[in-house]
Structure 1
Amino acid sequence: MVTGDSMRPTLRPGDRLVVTYGARVRAGQVVVARFADGTLVVKRATERRGSGWWLRGDNPDPGVGVDSRHRGPVPDRAVLGVVRGRLWPRPRRLGAFEDVKE
């Protein structure tokens, strides 16, 4: 379940997601990852950097949320799964670079 506003307008707090854990990650996909401090996050994988992924929130306000701008690249092993869609409250498939605004 999404918490916070860092993925607006694509995802909203309270959205429940369908995630494929262990899936191969491609740039542009929304992923579930774990930061080094143990925080579980939903972010967009924007590009590979070294041995990890650069993750960013979709919210254009730089003061909302924490992502790779604050924490650096996330190692491959810490990117847990790829978000395939929103299950509730407005079901919809989610593709790479696709906003699910409604």
Structure 2
Amino acid sequence: MITAVRVTGDSMIPALRPGDWLLVRRGAAIRPGDVVVARRPHGLIVKRAFRLTDEGWWVESDNQRAPGRQDSWNFGAVPADDVVGRVVARYWPWPLRLFWRAR
């Protein structure tokens, strides 16, 4: 299943910017380096999957200097069940930027 998610905040600059719209493949297999969407108590976050630990996925912001960024450095690993899916494309603004890899 594919769903759409809007980026908020500066934590994923330069790869993604506030206002970008993403297509997310729910339940997709995740590998280190993938951009993912995960559930947190305050809502959804868009981060880069860094590594899989016993506790879940360690996710990080691309822009570590972003004010107010929230990633695994703040809250630890995200349980695998809380990773919604893998970002496969940015569809707005144009031009389209794809994130998928041949698997």
What letter matches 1:15 in structure 2? D
Does the 8 A contact of 1:5 with 1:64 survive in 2?
no
* Aligned counterparts of 1:83 and 1:20: Cα–Cα separation in 2: 6
Pick one of 12, 16, 23 that aligns with 1:18. Answer: 23
Gaps in structure 2 of 5+ consecutive residues: 1-5
CA RMSD, 1 decimal: 1.5
Q: List alignment gaps of at least 5 residues for structure 1.
A: 97-102
Say which structure is richer in strand. Answer: 2
What does residue 7 of structure 1 align with?
12
CA contact (8 A) 1:2 1:13 kept: yes
Identity %: 47
Report the Cα distance in structure 1 between the residues aligned to 2:66 and 2:90, rounded to whole angstroms. 24
Which residue identity lines up with residue 37 of structure 2 in the other structure? V
The two structures have a TM-score, normalised by structure 2, of 0.85
Q: Report runs of 4+ in structure 1 exceeding 4 Å deviation.
A: none
Q: Residue 74 of structure 2: SS of its match in structure 1?
A: helix
CA distance in 2, matches of 1:62, 1:3: 12
User: Structure 1 length as normaliser, TM-score?
Assistant: 0.86
Residues 1-102 of structure 1 mapped to structure 2, 5 A cutoff:
1-35=6-40, 37-61=41-65, 63-90=67-94, 91-95=96-100
Q: How many equivalent residue pairs?
A: 95
Higher relative contact order (CA 8 A, sep 6+): 1
